[in-house]
A and B are shown apart, each in its own frame.
Chain A
Amino acid sequence: MNPFDYFKFRYYEKWLGGISAYFIANGYITQAELDARTKAFLASSPTMPTGGDSAVDARVRKYLLIGDDPKRPRSAPPRFASGDAVCVANPKSVDHTRLPGHLRNKTGIIDSVYPDAYTYLCDTGPDGIGEAMPVYCVRFDPEALWPGNTEKNFTFYADLFEAYLEPAIAS
């Protein structure tokens, strides 16, 4: 997504744009059809078409009620334990990531290790996630993240995939 558009559009505008782009890219509808129909709905309130296979509704309901569980058994023991000092990696930026930019190259402490392992919705390539791996709750001193620019007396926690963490080098 164009970074300017990312900041311009509100959350649900992004949903609408993303869903529309998916159906256009995969050949279900065309941009011209969508534009023309949008004009029609702006000009009046056309009657909605009817019909469809109710099995679709059942599948949608099933998804919402059950979800899509990303938890998997671990293939190896977790690399870190509670109390370990870790340094956050700085991998190449890609479209999808679960690494907040403000944590890159920062040092934190493993607060807890979540049970089992977790997949991500896609393989993020050089970013490093996708396959099931341990996830950690990492504790940061906000003063180390934003020196001289934070409130006092609070702690910042982030849930991070193992691929984003390296052992902190003792100084």
Chain B
Amino acid sequence: MQRFEYSKDRETANAARARALEALLIEKGVITSDTVDKIMAIFATEMGPFNGAKLVAKAWVDPAFKQLLAEDTMAAVEKMNFVTKGAGAEGEHMRAAINTPEVHNLIICTLCSCYPWPVLGLPPYWYKDPSFRARAPESTQRIRPEHRPLQGDQNLGQ
């Protein structure tokens, strides 16, 4: 069991280590004193779930766009005014899965770090946790309710 024990100060220790790594890389000239802040700003304002929300909202009110999103997702994304256009790290080839009242989709990554950064940003850590990855493929009932696909009357689609 010892191998799996977490130190109580894991958040503080990791934050210090991240800052230490940043400081060293600035001193060595690998990155600049602005690099990390600029990456954070990109994920806060240019690549994130606010883009995905716009895609979904447009699909709700524009049936032709919804059809394009389903059939050629990247062509639909290119029509949006995103700074990444039809590209963006980890989102070079996205495919939308359209929910209907009868069919709900749960997209999971069981292996690595795939996540559609341009439209959803960086993933929450639980999405990559082995316990979630192991349970979600077998049964949505075995994952926490807030991580499940929409159920019945929760359906927000049109």
List A residues at the B interface (Cβ < 8 Å).
Answer: 4, 6-8, 10-13, 16, 19-20, 23, 28-29, 33-34, 37-42, 46, 48-54, 56-57, 60-61, 63-71, 97-100, 102, 118, 142, 145-146, 149-151, 154, 156
Contacts and interface: CB of A to CB of B under 8 A. Distances in A.
B89 interface: yes
Nearest to A102: B137
Contacts of B141: 151
B88 A65 contact: yes
A97 B23 contact: no
B53 to A, nearest CB: 19
Interface of B is mostly: helix
B124 to A, nearest CB: 9
Q: Size range of the interface on B?
A: 35 or more
B105 to A, nearest CB: 9
A37 B137 contact: no
Contacts of A13: 10, 14
A154 B16 CA distance: 45
Interface stretch (B33-41, B54-62, B150-158): B33-41
Given A48-B33, A51-B32, A37 B14 contact: no
B64 interface: no
Contacts of B112: 98
24 contacts: A4-B4, A10-B129, A11-B113, A11-B123, A11-B125, A11-B127, A16-B18, A34-B21, A34-B24, A37-B23, A41-B17, A46-B23, A52-B35, A57-B32, A57-B35, A60-B38, A61-B42, A65-B47, A66-B84, A67-B87, A71-B92, A100-B111, A118-B93, A154-B140
